Structure 1
Amino acid sequence: MVVCYTGGGTLGHIYPALAVHEELVQHAGYRAFWIGRDENSEREVVQKQGIPFFAIRSGKLRRYRSIQNLLDIGNVLSGFWQAFFILKRNRADVLFSKGGFVSVPPVLAAFFLGIPVVSHESDASAGLATRINAHFSRYVCVPFAQGFESIKASKRVVTGNPIRSGLVEKADTPYDETELPFIGRDDKLLLVLGGSSGSQQINALVRTHLEALTQMAYVYHQCGSKDVQNLRFERYTEVAFITDLLPSLLKRADLVVSRAGANTIAELALFGCPSLLIPLGREYSRGDQIDNALHLASLDAARTLVSETDLNRFVDEVKDLLDNRQKRTMLSENSRKLAQKDCAHRIAELLCSMKE
């Protein structure tokens, strides 16, 4: 079976598809390739998994009037024909779309070639690309049962969000305190997951209140490579990105402060982490993170700070949760209920059924 993956715009579109690839790579006769945008970080992550990567042109899908929308029609048409010949040349049996504006031309090309399409939406509401792709998809996989009424019920499949197999495996192993020797046994741990392009707000909040936060807990702060300040503070560690230590930190964390991206939320649910979510605002996005955060808050699976006024309560919210084990336990238990450990496997089986 030959699977074409498509999607891009952020690495959040890439990693879930790679989780599905990890499941399918065990099948005899499986082959994969990727159609994406010409962006080095996305290309490198895909090619590192041994998947051939083909870049195409694509136009951004804007929700407002702009002369650029007219100019991008040419990019979309060009991307369509590029994808058309790439799919035909590589003889794809099925196309799996993870969304983002680059996915629209390959989905359209697959539809016209008679190649079945399965799309996946990670967020609590469908983005514009997913809504367009849904018209040309056999199935649309979604994280939750609610919030996707605009997609035909006959096409909707509730799967959750795919998570890398390495994290799923480590979530089931006991915590080993020797993995984090710098954190005292009696210390509470506040894990801050900044790092993406929209994390400066969280980074600034933490640094402004660092003295108060470190009095409450040991603060482990992922701040992103573009915002490293090399601060020296007792009971504080600052890193650009967390790699191998992430599973241990998620297991050990008493509270996680994070944005509300779909992949992060899926990982927090997998580890049952109590969290305080500060979603990226509508001035920087379509509001998908706000939808994600409010969905979890409605289930008592996370606390949220959505507005600028809410941010004034940041330290009080952190203190309230760190001081109250019962509240943290409630958030942890409700978050864990949302975990979908077999999501990647279920999507892989769905893709295999397209070939039968």
Structure 2
Amino acid sequence: MNSNKTYKIILSGGGTGGHIYPAVAIANELKSRFPNADFLFVGAKDRMEMDKVPQAGYKIIGLWISGIQRELTLRNLSFPFKLISSLWKSRKIIKDFKPDVVIGTGGFASGPLLIMATSKGIPSLIQEQNSYPGITNKLLGKKADKICVAYDDLERFFPKDKIIKTGNPVRADLLHIAEKRDDAYKMFSLEKETKTILVLGGSLGARRINQLIEKEFDFLLTHNVQIIWQCGKLYYEQYKIYDNTKNIQVHEFINDMACAYAAADIIISRAGAISVSELCIVGKPVIFIPSPNVAEDHQAKNAQAIVDAQAAIIIKESDLEVDFQNKFTQLIISPEKQQKLGDNIKKLALTNATKQIVDEVELLLNKSNK
């Protein structure tokens, strides 16, 4: 293909980092191949993509859209109006920008944009991160040209002939974290001889994981560990009082995740799709605490796929009181178990996902420009 051609590419998705970061990774790979390409992101107003995408160097337009609440709530009454508004605005965006291809990475923000794009016959690709797709991608899969997935057995939800198993796009710097370990110790002011526990609850935070860490401070420190705790934007004001208490440091958000992963010996994490994909590449022992507050319990399904390969530990939120101390102790006192989990999870890594997804985008661009 002509790398100097000015392709016009729209990427849409958001709501959480799990939908935003894959879109940015795909855009970065496309930009490296087509330096003259023109990119536009479409997200949801008032969500984190409106900050994160411009920080990555891309223009974004926000739609007035939100998801349907699972419980009965007055907020659902506004959904039809938001959908109509977003469909109308998406139609205008497509008319004005005239994209050669449209890419959706999930979340309710991508729905209206891809509905309008496919209705106009614009080539489209969706990237499904989870082992159990969200409602937006399940609906879009009927019209999209290609569906890039990270797990097997998604023929239950998507047309088989459209599915390409690529894995999930992850930050390129994670491929070389072993080289960053010394820098990571300096960055986080860590003791090299002390085991480091990295606690992650997602970009916004995880209330139950934060409560667990607060409750188990004394227990954790009896094992002579140091803790890097990303408590999240929603909880930082509550938990920052513990920063630099004993061997604990509290962060609202960690920008250099490669260094955080490099420093870690054991990781406690939610099981969002992108986190799981990153942790496979990182190759460290992991305790997954899936969020139960997600559609179709997909985090538990994501984590269980790793546990079934004897590559991680899972503890349900409802079992934390009885299981956490026991399972953590079994792991921290056993270098053999740590090594086994680290080795096994690394075998599950799909390291070329971004490249393979962009290869598929290229095929769509080639087809649309014949």
Tell me if both proteins adopt one fold, taking TM over 0.5 as the criterion: yes
Q: Which position in structure 2 is the counterpart of 1:2?
A: 8
Q: Which position in structure 2 is the counterpart of 1:297?
A: 307
3-state SS in 2 of match to 1:154 = helix
> Given the alignment of the two structures, is residue 277 of structure 1 paired with residue 305 of structure 2, yes or no?
no
* One-letter amino acid matched to 2:12: T
The structural deviation recorded for 1:182 is: 3.4
Give the stretch that moved more between structures: 25-34 or 187-196: 187-196
* Contact 1:139/1:156 (<8 A) preserved: yes
Q: Which position in structure 2 is the counterpart of 1:243?
A: 255
State the alpha-carbon separation in 1 of the partners of residues 115 and 188 from structure 2: 52
Write the mapping of 1:133-282 to structure 2, written as runs, cut at 5 A.
133-168=140-175, 170-171=176-177, 173=179, 175-176=181-182, 179=186, 182-194=189-201, 196-216=203-223, 217-225=225-233, 226-227=235-236, 228-231=239-242, 232-244=244-256, 246-282=257-293
The structural deviation recorded for 1:70 is: 5.8
Write the mapping of 1:97-108 to structure 2, written as runs, cut at 5 A.
97-108=104-115
* Contact 1:279/1:293 (<8 A) preserved: yes
The structural deviation recorded for 1:312 is: 2.1
* Contact 1:18/1:164 (<8 A) preserved: no
CA deviations over 1:217-241 (Å, ceiling 9, x no partner): 2222121243333225322222222
Aligned residue among 33, 45, 52 for 1:38: 45
The structural deviation recorded for 1:100 is: 0.9
State the alpha-carbon separation in 2 of the partners of residues 247 and 40 from structure 1: 24
> Given the alignment of the two structures, is residue 111 of structure 1 paired with residue 121 of structure 2, yes or no?
no
Aligned residue among 23, 42, 62 for 1:55: 62
CA deviations over 1:89-125 (Å, ceiling 9, x no partner): 1110111001111211111100111101100111111
Give the stretch that moved more between structures: 54-63 or 183-192: 54-63
* One-letter amino acid matched to 1:5: L
Give the stretch that moved more between structures: 123-132 or 338-347: 338-347
Aligned residue among 78, 92, 103 for 1:96: 103
Provide the aligned C-alpha RMSD in A.
2.2
State the alpha-carbon separation in 1 of the partners of residues 186 and 281 from structure 2: 19
3-state SS in 1 of match to 2:110 = helix
Structure 1 unmatched ranges of 5 or more: none
* Contact 2:64/2:85 (<8 A) preserved: yes
3-state SS in 2 of match to 1:175 = helix
The structural deviation recorded for 1:79 is: 1.2
3-state SS in 2 of match to 1:39 = coil
Give the stretch that moved more between structures: 233-242 or 178-187: 178-187
* One-letter amino acid matched to 1:35: V
Q: Which position in structure 2 is the counterpart of 1:11?
A: 17
> Given the alignment of the two structures, is residue 336 of structure 1 paired with residue 364 of structure 2, yes or no?
no
Q: Which position in structure 2 is the counterpart of 1:352?
A: 362
CA deviations over 1:267-317 (Å, ceiling 9, x no partner): 2111101100111114x5542211111121111121001141344211211
C-alpha spacing 1:104/1:180, structure 2 compared with 1 (3 Å): closer
The structural deviation recorded for 1:205 is: 1.0
> Given the alignment of the two structures, is residue 128 of structure 1 paired with residue 135 of structure 2, yes or no?
yes
CA deviations over 1:114-156 (Å, ceiling 9, x no partner): 1011001111111111100101101111111234422111011
C-alpha spacing 1:347/1:325, structure 2 compared with 1 (3 Å): same
Give the stretch that moved more between structures: 139-148 or 270-279: 139-148
State the alpha-carbon separation in 1 of the partners of residues 356 and 332 from structure 2: 36
State the alpha-carbon separation in 1 of the partners of residues 155 and 179 from structure 2: 34
TM-score (norm 2): 0.88
Taking every aligned residue pair, what percent have the same amino acid on both sides? 26
* Contact 1:189/1:253 (<8 A) preserved: yes
> Given the alignment of the two structures, is residue 318 of structure 1 paired with residue 325 of structure 2, yes or no?
no
3-state SS in 2 of match to 1:95 = strand
Structure 2 unmatched ranges of 5 or more: 1-6
* Contact 1:35/1:56 (<8 A) preserved: yes
Q: Which position in structure 1 is the counterpart of 2:93?
A: 86
Give the stretch that moved more between structures: 81-90 or 61-70: 61-70
Give the stretch that moved more between structures: 229-238 or 264-273: 229-238
* Contact 1:141/1:156 (<8 A) preserved: yes
Q: Which position in structure 1 is the counterpart of 2:81?
A: 74
3-state SS in 2 of match to 1:313 = helix
The structural deviation recorded for 1:164 is: 2.0
The structural deviation recorded for 1:323 is: 0.8
* One-letter amino acid matched to 2:339: T
The structural deviation recorded for 1:180 is: 5.2
CA deviations over 1:187-228 (Å, ceiling 9, x no partner): 111111135445121111111111120121222212124333
